[in-house]
Structure 1
Amino acid sequence: MSELALLGAELVAVTVLVFGLYFPRHRRRDLVVAYFAVNIGVLAVADALRTSGAGAGLGLGFALFGVLSIIRLRSTELDQHEVAYFFSALALGLLGALETSSIWRNIALMGLILVVLAIVDNRWVLGRYRQQIIVLDSIVTNEDELIRRLEDLLGAKVYSGRLLRVDLINDSTVVDVRYAGRPGKLIAPVSPPTYAGQR
């Protein structure tokens, strides 16, 4: 009975993770399927290994996290916050399958994961801090001048502007910018327009 209760808690937790936290905030439909698949797959494998005695516990956890790391290394389309949700889905699956002396401990850990994500992935907490790739239509290599140009362009406090590429032929500078803007404020178009990957 306790195993069924833990399974039910795990299914509720992953549903809250995906439909309560991730999808309302980021709206990537394809990752909804991926998160459920990773979670249920890990839950099934971990439970099968636990009941068969083929190995579970810490070793299984490290093995599954290693698999996810490989997926991350081979993927170029996932942002860091999406990787965090992958790890959370995986962790929920492990907590739902691993044997414990009290199911309430595992349920409490599931709740902790959800609470932490609900707080840190919130636009009211870190929403004003942003990152953007900007292409400037001139060559700027002086750091102080670059920061001034970026602050004038963005109308925000720029914390760093890392040069990614300087094109001497086309007179352009590609910069990775970390800055703080006001929540809900979009960057106003400028002339000439400066978009990532486009002059």
Structure 2
Amino acid sequence: MSQLVLFAIDICAVALLVFGLYFPRHRRRDLVVAYLGVNVGVLAVASALSASDVGAGLGLGLALFGVLSIIRLRSTELDQHEVAYYFSALALGILGALSTTSVWLSGGLMALIVAVMFVGDHRRLLRHYRHQIMVLDSAVTDQVALVAQLEQLLNARVHTATVQRLDMVNETTVVDVRYSVAGRGTAAGTSRPARAGAVR
């Protein structure tokens, strides 16, 4: 009976994680089925292994390896917060299959995972900090001049600027910029970059 209760708690927790947190915040429909599939798949495999003679540790290790391989060999780009949702869905499935622990302990840990994701992925947490990949229409070799140019374009304080590609022939600079807009006059996304574009 306790196992069925854990199953129900897991389904409620992953539904809240996916439909209450992830999709309303990020609106990426293709990952909804991925998170649900990972959760239910791990829940089913771990539950079946716990009732068989095969070591549950070996089975969970194989499941983790499979999920990590999927994430590593993905064909589409995933942001770090989307990887965090993957691991959260995976952890919820594992906790839902652990019949050796009490319902209260497993349920509390599931609630903790959802609560951490709610806070960690909240739009107000560190909301002034931004990240962009920019393409400048000039080849800038001086780091100080590069930072000054980026701060002028973004109207923000640049914390790090890492040059990813410097093309002296076509006079372009691809730079990874991490900056904050706190205390600045314009909001993020209102920059006037010269042939600059943000991929994230």
Measured in 2, the distance between the counterparts of 1:101 and 1:166 equals 55
TM-score (norm 1): 0.91
CA 1:101–1:88: 2 relative to 1, 3 Å: closer
Alignment of 1:32-51 (within 5 A): 32-51=32-51
CA contact (8 A) 2:154 2:193 kept: no
| Paired letter, 2:19 | F
1:70 aligns with 2:72: no
Alpha-carbon shift at residue 126 of structure 1 (Å): 2.2
Measured in 2, the distance between the counterparts of 1:96 and 1:67 equals 19
Give CA deviations for 1:117-158 in whole Å, capped at 9, x if unaligned. Answer: 111111111222121100011011111111111111111111
Alpha-carbon shift at residue 180 of structure 1 (Å): 1.2
CA contact (8 A) 2:21 2:118 kept: yes
* 180-189 or 97-106, which deviates more: 180-189
TM-score (norm 2): 0.91
Uncovered stretches (5+) of structure 1, i.e. residues with no partner: none
1:178 is paired with a residue whose SS is strand
Q: Give aligned-pair identity as a percent.
A: 51
> Could you tell me which residue of structure 2 aligns to residue 156 of structure 1?
156
> Could you tell me which residue of structure 2 aligns to residue 21 of structure 1?
21
> Could you tell me which residue of structure 2 aligns to residue 190 of structure 1?
192
1:110 is paired with a residue whose SS is helix
CA contact (8 A) 2:135 2:195 kept: no
Aligned residue pair count: 196
Measured in 2, the distance between the counterparts of 1:157 and 1:93 equals 42
Alpha-carbon shift at residue 73 of structure 1 (Å): 1.6
1:124 is paired with a residue whose SS is coil
| Paired letter, 2:190 | A
Alpha-carbon shift at residue 177 of structure 1 (Å): 0.5
> Could you tell me which residue of structure 2 aligns to residue 172 of structure 1?
172
| Paired letter, 1:14 | V
Alpha-carbon shift at residue 191 of structure 1 (Å): 6.4
Alpha-carbon shift at residue 182 of structure 1 (Å): 4.7
1:138 is paired with a residue whose SS is coil
Give CA deviations for 1:150-177 in whole Å, capped at 9, x if unaligned. Answer: 1111111111000000111110000000
> Could you tell me which residue of structure 1 aligns to residue 31 of structure 2?
31
Uncovered stretches (5+) of structure 2, i.e. residues with no partner: none
CA 1:188–1:94: 2 relative to 1, 3 Å: same
Query: Pairwise CA RMSD of aligned residues?
Result: 1.9
